[in-house]
Amino acid sequence: MLRETDVYFKTRIPAVVVLLITLTWSVAAANPEDKSPPRYAVRAGKIVTCAGDPIDNGTILVSGGKIEAIGPRDQIEIPEGYKVLDHREMFAMPGLVEAHSHVGAQGGFNDSVYPTVSGLEIAHQIQPYNDALKEAIQGGVTTILYIPGSGNNLAGIGVVMKTRPGTAEEVIIKNPGCLKIAQAGNPERRSSGELGSGRAGMNWVLREKLRKGQRYYQKWLDYEQGRTDVKPEVDLQLEIFRPVFKGEIPVVIHTQMFQVVMETLRMFHDEFGLKGAIHHGTFDAYRVADEVAKRDFPCCIGPRVTVMDRENGQIVGVVAGYYARGARNLFVNVDATGSTQEDLHFQAALGVRYGWPEEDGLYGLTIRPARYLMVDDRVGSLEVGKDADIVIKNGPVMDLRSAVVKVLIDGEVVYDAAQDRRIY
């Protein structure tokens, strides 16, 4: 290719030009490390940092994919070589974090041959920057927890990834990211009579598996801490329980309706003491929210926003129901399977519409899910040293009338409404 081009140029074009062109070409080709992310200075009218008070008229310096500095405009000098992204009329906020998503690849997220498949890793099927993720970016979503479905009681291992383009290795930020469990609802789709298709069976299967996992974790712990010399045998089906019981990764528990949510609290919080969250928690589950509040257990509510109270025919906002009963560790999900991931802020906005305080909703879109996923050292707020995942909106963050105009992930502009076609 190169040689052909050279010949072409040599024969037709003055030598100087050829020289220049080949020079640039070779420089670019020879120094791939120079392709490092450009450095930006993002100016915004209001920066919602989700880490303390918002900054009016602020500047964010982005370098090497990280936030280098952030503060009011008059306190931050923009150094030489920084490209200024001037959005002085707009809002900047951290990229949104979704803690319950199925769109890391398109389709194929239920392997439900056995009631529990704790060895399966969804990370193997990631399709970075697929169509659904492109749209997710337009909705401001920059980080997702990509998890298996809820076809069986224990569906495998999820992964925390960015929505940006890149190889799978580049976009993954935590693997294993979580253990996915389904304690009600969907597993009941399995043929009746199969183990784990009823509530009692489900709980039996889960408890048995968790105990097995706990013993396995204990054996390894004993070995690692020198209490025994016998090196335990590696069991791929149970390996995931080591980080789970160590508290390094959270458990995602698909659960809904108040009886089941209560069971979730008992089993995962009281009995096994795991780091988890109630996922969905919809229908009338908000009625046990005071129990949730007592334990400060995180809740990832959605995609159902409301429930009709049969007693009086009133529509109740689910998140607001939790909030009113004292639960505070609240965030939302859209449980995207098709192309709805971009609706994350919409989901929160509806939560706010039905009574969730708006400011709390902001945290529920960003830092809280990040903290739950234990990736808050990288995403979830705009702070120095964190990933430069920045969303620029042309209006208040939650307002449905405002739109995302620019998205930076890892310090690179991945969406610019002025150039890219807006789908969402």
Partner 1 sequence: MKIYNQKTHFRRWVVEIPAVVALLTILAWGQELKERAVAIRGAAIETISGGRIEKGNVVVRGGKIEAVGAEVEIPDDARVIEAEGMTVMPGIIDPYSRAGGVTGGGEFVRVADQFYPYQEVFKQMLPWGITNLSITPSSLGQTAVIAITPDLPKTMVINKDGNLFLPVTNSTSSLRVLRDGLALRPAGPQGQGPEIPTRAGRGRGQRRGDQTQQQQRQRAGQRAGQQAAGGPSSMADPLWAKVVKGEQYLIVDVANSATILYLGEILEKYPEVKVALNTNGSTVFETLETLKKFKPLLILPPRIENQPNRQYRINAARIAHEAGLEVAFTGLKPEAAAAMPGMRAGRGQRAAAPPTRGASEVNRDVPLFPVAYLVKAGLPREIALLALTLKPAQVMGLADRLGTMEPQKDANLLIFSGDPLDPASRLLRVMVEGKFVYENKN
Partner 2 sequence: MILVMLGLAIAASTVIAQDRPLRRPPQPPQTTPEETEEESPGPIIAIVGGKIYTVTQEIIREGTILVQDGKILKAGQDLAVPEGAEVIDAAGRHLVPGFIALNASRIGVSGTTGGQNLVQDALNPFDQNMQYLLGVGITTVCSSTGAGGQRGMRRTPQPTPTAPEGVFGSTGQIVLKMTYGDIEGMFVKENPFYAVRSASFRGGLNCFNWREELKRAQSFIKAQDNQTDEGEGGRRGQRPSANQDVVRLLQGEAVLRTDAQTIDQIRDMIIFSRSYGYRIILEGVDEGWLIADELGPAGVAAIITPRSTMTPQAGREEITGGTMELAMHLERAGVPFAINAQSGSVSLGGMAGRDLQGLPLQAMFAVSGGCSEKSALAALTIVPARMMGLQDRIGSIEAGKDADILILDGHPLDYKTYVEKALVNGKVYYDRAAARILPVFDRSFYEQQIKIDK
User: What's the N-to-C CA distance of the chain in angstroms?
Assistant: 40
Q: How far apart are CA 276 and CA 100, in angstroms?
A: 12
Report in angstroms the alpha-carbon separations of 162 from 98, 130, 137, 337, 357: 10, 12, 10, 17, 28
For residues 298 and 278, the answer to whether their CB atoms sit within 8 Å is yes
Pick from 199, 208, 330: which is nearest to 256 by CA? 199
Of these, 233, 401, 418, 419, which contacts partner 2 (CB under 8 A)?
401
Q: Chain centroid to CA 351: how far?
A: 19
Which of partner 2, partner 1, none interacts with 222 (beta carbon under 5 to 8 A by kind)? Answer: none
Whichever of 193 and 313 has its CB closer to partner 2, that residue is: 313
Per-residue b or e along 210-242, where b marks 16 or more CB atoms closer than 10 Å to that residue's CB: bebbbebbebbeeeeeeeeeeebeeeebbbbbb
**Only segment of 74-82, 108-116, 203-211, 395-403 that touches partner 2 (CB under 8 A):** 395-403
**Is 317 among the residues that bind partner 2 (CB under 8 A)?**
yes
Per partner kind, with CB cut-offs from 5 to 8 A, the member of partner 1, partner 2, none near residue 199 is none
Cβ atoms of 290 and 326 within 8 Å: the answer is: yes
Q: Which of residues 284-303 bind partner 2 (CB under 8 A)?
A: 303
Which of 32, 193, 313, 385 touches partner 1 (CB under 8 A)? 313
Nearest to 416 by CA among 37, 85, 165, 57: 85
310 lies in the site for partner 1, by CB under 8 A: yes
Contact flag: residue 360 with partner 2 (CB under 8 A): yes
- The DSSP code for 231 is P
Nearest distance, CB of residue 232 and partner 2, angstroms: 40
Instruction: Return d(Cα 196, Cα 202) in angstroms, integer.
Output: 4
φ, ψ dihedrals at 63, nearest 5° = -150, 140
Residue 354 touching partner 2 (CB under 8 A)? yes
Q: Does 121 bind partner 2 (CB under 8 A)?
A: no
For residue 307, state whether it binds partner 2 (rule: CB under 8 A): yes
- Residues 205-234 within binding reach of partner 2 (CB under 8 A): none
Asked if 365 contacts 380 with a C-beta cutoff of 8 angstroms, the reply is: no
Residue 311 binding partner 1, by CB under 8 A: yes
From residue 124, give the alpha-carbon distance in Å to each of 117, 159, 245: 15, 10, 23
Could you tell me whether strands 141-146 and 154-162 are parallel, antiparallel, or unpaired per DSSP bridges? antiparallel
Chosen from partner 1, partner 2, none, partner binding at 360 (C-beta under 5 to 8 Å by type): partner 2
When asked if residue 192 is in the footprint of partner 1 (CB under 8 A), the reply is no
| Under rule CB under 8 A, residue 3 binds partner 1 | no
Q: How far apart are CA 417 and CA 423, in angstroms?
A: 10
Residue 142 contacts which entry, partner 1, partner 2, none (Cβ below 5-8 A, type-dependent): none
Pull the structure tokens for residue 271: 């009995």
Q: Among partner 2, partner 1, none, what does residue 71 contact (CB within 5–8 Å per kind)? A: none
Question: Which among partner 1, partner 2, none contacts residue 310 (Cβ within 5 to 8 A by kind)?
Answer: partner 1
Does residue 420 touch partner 2 according to CB under 8 A? Answer: no
Residue numbers 50-69 binding partner 2 by CB under 8 A: 50-52
- Interface with partner 2 (CB under 8 A), residue from 3, 12, 35, 421: 421
Question: Would you count residue 326 as binding partner 2 (CB under 8 A)?
Answer: no
- What is the contact surface with partner 1 in residues (CB under 8 A)? 310-313
- What is the contact surface with partner 2 in residues (CB under 8 A)? 50-52, 282-283, 303-308, 312-318, 320, 328, 338-340, 343, 346, 349-350, 352-355, 357-360, 363, 367, 398-403, 421-424
